[in-house]
Structure 1
């Protein structure tokens, strides 16, 4: 039997199992006693330390690289928490409590999938969705899609104007007409801070500002959730994320279609395919594969547009998709779920709650939970309206420049779009008041639902064909280019989700024709 004396033990181990004596006790791990006949292993402790240190270094490197891609996900997630989402999620929660949380989850999963296709399209081709439409589609079809995209931009911006005006009225008692007019002030933010062709530092600062607005909305709803009545069961909430028979009922299907239309926003497809090129170009510039971007006035008309190298695509694509997915799954899914949960817990048993508009929801929250709950709701609505309006402008600029090569400064684009959106909002607010604004807000979401299948079809079409998804190979390598179209599973899911969008929005139109409201 081995003795407990260190010297004796080490010698015995070395003698019986051919372990080098020079390792010593400090560097030896005994797996079992020789007296038991089991195996003995000598593992240098410094090997564990080296392995752990190497793993930590690798994790740090991955996190550091990932941090350089943080930003676009915040920008895109804003499109999924705009005032239109408030209207649909509150109505669904008040009518069906938590049973339509499954539709919130499904809509966000579809949004993440489509946005992943957007990132892939923008990375492989170097162009956003609008630029690809102009480059590859017949002129008449490109113009048709451009017209529909502009309609979607204006419908989205109308929702932002209405949401901002209502929030200002609830917080500061500003008249609705004046609130609609004040909504144009956010053009100043774009004028001073957004320059897509500027330095990465400036672009990241702009993304940080938008990210802070998103975090502000999240904080508001964290506070709202903390005020929910104690009688609300956590089990009931989580069961809402499972499919239920509510989805096949006419009223439930109507609400589900509204959630899908308000969540998968058409303008976000242009945004997602157009804001990731800056990271790709930064990689190529650092590795000598591209020249730094020139100031807007110095770009020559015949200059070859930037196209990402295969090295940049391989280095950045996965990180961009992961950053986008995490942002949407955490911020967008959380906020939409929180809106529906707060409405379901507070309003589902209140008389007349299914017909309540944003004003009525604010009053019910203030009375049923606490006055501060209504204030936090209005503040979240204001932050959502401002941030979504800013992002909507960037998407609108991509649509006009990409589809028509119509160059316009971002703040001028903002002024142009917001002027068109403000005019009907002011007229409705002055002539009909709060009920008219609520109807216009819901109408804008219906319009977006109808437009979504038309504007998402080119995305599926482009990403499924090698004709568009081919990256030029290096000198002497891959003479026919590197094919990066969707694989069979991705293509199948893309077509399946598109058909699902068509069916749900078709059902929405039928229900509207039948008189549902």
Structure 2
């Protein structure tokens, strides 16, 4: 959950009442499918989506995909900038322009949370703190759903059925905003990368992989300040002679590790289950609750057209207590920070995967945030609160427009047998479907390699491309409407 989810839901509910609930449901289904493919790609290939693109696609296509991925991360960060600025205004009454400028300071959070080759306990504690705040917001919306003026249960349930609202001009824009906020492109890069940590942990515990120690004995070198800045290392290591070896160790670890079939199956099953549960419980309920509350209280009022994040706080404060409104503002603030850190992690994978470009997370965060702040400050200064709300929704729509470009390589790679295969070694001697490939001949004898193929079946491939065509078609239609000034 991030500011983009909150904003698109309240806007859709205020304008179209409950009619876009089915878009929330459909977006979660699409997200589960695409995230599952991302987990599968990362598990089977041992590489994230960005690295796979570099390995399997031509240079020009790799660069194009990299540019699109960077645009998606910047669009994501714009939403976090705006959401954080609005939260600061709610809590401390800081002017919106000043609040936008202050969001650059959150690079300090990245400095505190990130430790190379170390523990991520600080980050985990922060994530749990954000989760507790979001759960508090959920509790507030549960109470508000109970205390709201009586609404028709049948009308709400009908909202989960497909209807013609999405074809209407304004309905399509709001629907794609919900889609972009739910199926965020950068999360696919992150999802394909994080599964490898879980697989490596499985294989280490099973004795299938021993972490290399060779890098510990490597000679240590002195770096210039320029080299240290480019090294991608945390500033705390700049005064230590270990800075080079940690980079070498992580690269060596990636090159030497290849997951076993047992690790792949275990991790894939767990990851898909985790994604499904999180999306169809927490995300689905919160998004639906916000839309229902907004639809029931704002759809027939004069505030409907300009409903935004401020409106949610006002609703909670009016129908419950001011404490509920403050809790929402805190959840908005810290969920924005959490989402920003996640975007930074995804940005690391994107730059390293596509270009082999290593840059320190705090520096990466500073660059991305600097780019995101510029348009946000301009909008806040020129238009104020209404402009920021529209810019926030527009950033989510732009994520939807970029989604087909990011997901096409994912569906293509996971559907190809030559990419989705795992060598079967004597260690994981399994009775799985496999074929024998003859490798290059040596002086002694040809080398035989057994492969276990894990590409998508024809049904999953067909469904995936159908989902891709649906997303592409609606986005193309919206672009045409925007060009004609009708959306």
Provide the TM-score with structure 2 as the length reference: 0.83
SS at match of 2:22: helix
Whole-angstrom distance in 1 between the partners of 2:128 and 2:159: 29
Aligned to 1:511: 481
Is the contact between residue 220 and residue 379 of structure 1 (CA under 8 Å) also seen in structure 2? no
Write the mapping of 1:95-174 to structure 2, written as runs, cut at 5 A: 95-174=15-94
Is the contact between residue 4 and residue 396 of structure 2 (CA under 8 Å) also seen in structure 1? yes
SS at match of 1:276: helix
CA drift of 1:376 comes to 3.6
CA drift of 1:222 comes to 2.2
SS at match of 1:275: helix
Report the CA distance shift for 1:434/1:305 in structure 2 as closer, same or farther (over 3 A). farther
Report the CA distance shift for 1:417/1:389 in structure 2 as closer, same or farther (over 3 A). same
Aligned to 1:398: 349
Return the index of the structure with the highest Cα Rg: 1
Aligned to 1:33: none
Task: Answer yes or no: is 1:265 the counterpart of 2:265.
Answer: no
Whole-angstrom distance in 2 between the partners of 1:99 and 1:427: 34
Write the mapping of 1:9-24 to structure 2, written as runs, cut at 5 A: none
CA drift of 1:349 comes to 1.8
Write the mapping of 1:263-302 to structure 2, written as runs, cut at 5 A: 263-292=182-211, 296-299=246-249
Aligned to 1:469: 420
CA drift of 1:219 comes to 1.8
Write the mapping of 1:193-212 to structure 2, written as runs, cut at 5 A: 193-195=113-115, 197-198=117-118, 202-203=119-120, 206-212=123-129
Is the contact between residue 221 and residue 335 of structure 1 (CA under 8 Å) also seen in structure 2? yes
Structure 2 residue aligned with 1:219, among 136, 145, 156?
136
Write the mapping of 1:378-389 to structure 2, written as runs, cut at 5 A: 378-389=329-340
Report the CA distance shift for 1:99/1:428 in structure 2 as closer, same or farther (over 3 A). closer
Q: Which moved more, 1:440-449 or 1:453-462?
A: 440-449
Write the mapping of 1:310-325 to structure 2, written as runs, cut at 5 A: 310-325=261-276
Whole-angstrom distance in 2 between the partners of 1:516 and 1:285: 57
Report the CA distance shift for 1:373/1:205 in structure 2 as closer, same or farther (over 3 A). closer
Q: Which moved more, 1:158-167 or 1:223-232?
A: 223-232
Structure 1 residue aligned with 2:109, among 166, 189, 194?
189
CA drift of 1:167 comes to 1.0
Whole-angstrom distance in 2 between the partners of 1:254 and 1:426: 24
Deviation string, structure 1 residues 200-254 (Cα, Å, up to 9, x no partner): xx34662453243134123213213312414134443333222233233333233
Whole-angstrom distance in 1 between the partners of 2:320 and 2:300: 14
Aligned to 2:451: 481
Report the CA distance shift for 1:345/1:196 in structure 2 as closer, same or farther (over 3 A). farther
Report the CA distance shift for 1:279/1:484 in structure 2 as closer, same or farther (over 3 A). same
Is the contact between residue 254 and residue 511 of structure 1 (CA under 8 Å) also seen in structure 2? no
- Structure with the greater relative contact order (CA < 8 A, sep ≥ 6): 1 or 2? 2
SS at match of 2:424: coil
Whole-angstrom distance in 1 between the partners of 2:420 and 2:6: 37
Whole-angstrom distance in 1 between the partners of 2:252 and 2:9: 49
Report the CA distance shift for 1:225/1:347 in structure 2 as closer, same or farther (over 3 A). farther
Whole-angstrom distance in 2 between the partners of 1:245 and 1:151: 31
Name the Cα RMSD after superposition. 2.3
CA drift of 1:312 comes to 1.0
SS at match of 1:259: helix
Q: Which moved more, 1:440-449 or 1:315-324?
A: 440-449
CA drift of 1:495 comes to 0.7
SS at match of 1:299: helix
Is the contact between residue 346 and residue 368 of structure 1 (CA under 8 Å) also seen in structure 2? no
Report the CA distance shift for 1:195/1:499 in structure 2 as closer, same or farther (over 3 A). farther
Structure 1 unmatched runs, 5+: 1-80
SS at match of 2:130: helix
Deviation string, structure 1 residues 66-110 (Cα, Å, up to 9, x no partner): xxxxxxxxxxxxxxx221222221111011211211110110110
Whole-angstrom distance in 1 between the partners of 2:135 and 2:462: 34
Deviation string, structure 1 residues 7-63 (Cα, Å, up to 9, x no partner): xxxxxxxxxxxxxxxxxxxxxxxxxxxxxxxxxxxxxxxxxxxxxxxxxxxxxxxxx
Structure 2 unmatched runs, 5+: 216-244, 435-448
Is the contact between residue 24 and residue 179 of structure 2 (CA under 8 Å) also seen in structure 1? yes
